[in-house]
Amino acid sequence: MWKKFTGYLKQIVPLMQNSLIPALILYAALTVFLTVTPFNPKALHFLHLGFFMVCFASVGILTFFNHNRPLFFILVLMIAYMLINYLKYAHGIIYNLSVDYFNLCFLTAVSLMFFYFLPNRPLFSQDTVNFTLIVFAALALGEQLSRYQIGIDFSRFVCNGCGLQTFGLAMFVSVFLIMLVHSSIRDDILTTALFFATADVMLGFYLSDRPAPLALFFFAAAVTVFCGIVHSVRYAARKDTVTGLDNGNSFIRASASLPLKYGLGIVCIDDYKHLAQIFKKSGIDEIVVMVAKKIRELEPETQIYRCGADEFIVIFPAAEKGTSFARVDNIRRSVAASEFLLSGRKKSLKLTVSCSVADKKRSDANVFEVFMRARKILQKTYKFTQNITSQA
Q: Please tell me whether residues 40 and 23 are part of one structural domain.
A: yes
Burial 76-87 (b: 16+ CB within 10 A, else e): bbbbbbebbbeb
DSSP label of 255: G
Peptide bond between residue 38 and the one before it cis (omega within 30 degrees of 0): yes
Neighbours of 376 (CB within 10 A): 14
Q: Please tell me whether residues 218 and 294 are part of one structural domain.
A: no
Cβ–Cβ under 8 Å, residues 22 and 197: yes
DSSP label of 94: G
Which residue, 171, 206, 238, sits at the end of a domain? 238
Cβ–Cβ under 8 Å, residues 338 and 351: yes
Q: What's the pLDDT at 163?
A: 67
- Rg of the Cα atoms in the chain: 26
Residue 279: give its domain's CATH number: 3.30.70.270
If one counts the domains in the chain, the total is: 2
What CA–CA distance (Å, rounded) separates 169 from 105?
A: 9
Provide φ and ψ at 268, rounded to 5°. Answer: -120, 125
What CA–CA distance (Å, rounded) separates 151 from 147?
A: 10
Q: Please tell me whether residues 209 and 177 are part of one structural domain.
A: yes
Q: Please tell me whether residues 179 and 273 are part of one structural domain.
A: no
Q: Please tell me whether residues 339 and 367 are part of one structural domain.
A: yes
Q: Please tell me whether residues 299 and 189 are part of one structural domain.
A: no
Q: Please tell me whether residues 167 and 285 are part of one structural domain.
A: no
Element (H, E) at 391: strand 389-391
Q: What's the pLDDT at 257?
A: 84
Q: What's the pLDDT at 94?
A: 80
Q: Please tell me whether residues 206 and 146 are part of one structural domain.
A: yes
Q: Please tell me whether residues 268 and 199 are part of one structural domain.
A: no
Sheet containing 246-247, strands listed edge to edge, beginning at the edge strand earlier in sequence: 246-247, 303-308, 311-317, 262-269, 353-359, 389-391
- What tens digit of pLDDT does each residue of 136-173 get? 888 888 777 777 676 655 545 555 556 677 777 888 88
Q: Please tell me whether residues 296 and 348 are part of one structural domain.
A: yes
Q: What's the pLDDT at 37?
A: 73
Kindly report the pTM of this predicted structure: 0.80
Which residue, 207, 238, 269, sits at the end of a domain? 238
User: How many residues does the structure list for the chain?
Assistant: 392
Q: Half-sphere exposure (CA, 13 Å, Cβ side) for 39?
A: 18
- What tens digit of pLDDT does each residue of 72-95 get? 999 999 999 999 999 888 888 888
Q: Please tell me whether residues 161 and 304 are part of one structural domain.
A: no
Cβ–Cβ under 8 Å, residues 145 and 103: yes
SS3 374: helix
DSSP label of 256: G
Burial of residue 9 (CB within 10 Å: 0-12, 13-18, 19+) is: exposed
pLDDT in tens, the chain (392 residues): 444 444 444 444 444 567 889 999 999 999 999 888 788 888 899 999 999 999 999 999 999 988 888 999 999 999 999 999 998 888 888 888 788 888 888 889 989 999 898 887 888 888 888 888 888 888 888 777 777 676 655 545 555 556 677 777 888 888 999 998 888 777 788 899 999 999 999 999 988 888 889 999 999 999 999 999 999 888 888 888 888 899 988 988 888 888 888 889 999 999 999 998 988 888 899 999 999 999 999 998 889 999 888 999 999 988 777 888 999 999 999 999 998 888 877 888 899 999 999 988 876 768 888 888 889 988 888 878 888 888 87
Q: How far is CA 377 from CA 330, 380, 383, in A?
A: 18, 5, 10
Q: Which domain holds residue 322?
A: 246-391
Distance of CA 94 to the CA centre of its chain: 39
Which residue, 193, 213, 238, sits at the end of a domain? 238
SS (H, E, C) 223-243: HHHHHHHHHHHHHHHHECCCC
Cβ–Cβ under 8 Å, residues 321 and 336: no
Q: What's the pLDDT at 200?
A: 94
Burial of residue 277 (CB within 10 Å: 0-12, 13-18, 19+) is: exposed
Q: Please tell me whether residues 191 and 251 are part of one structural domain.
A: no
- What tens digit of pLDDT does each residue of 17-72 get? 678 899 999 999 999 998 887 888 888 999 999 999 999 999 999 999 888 889 99
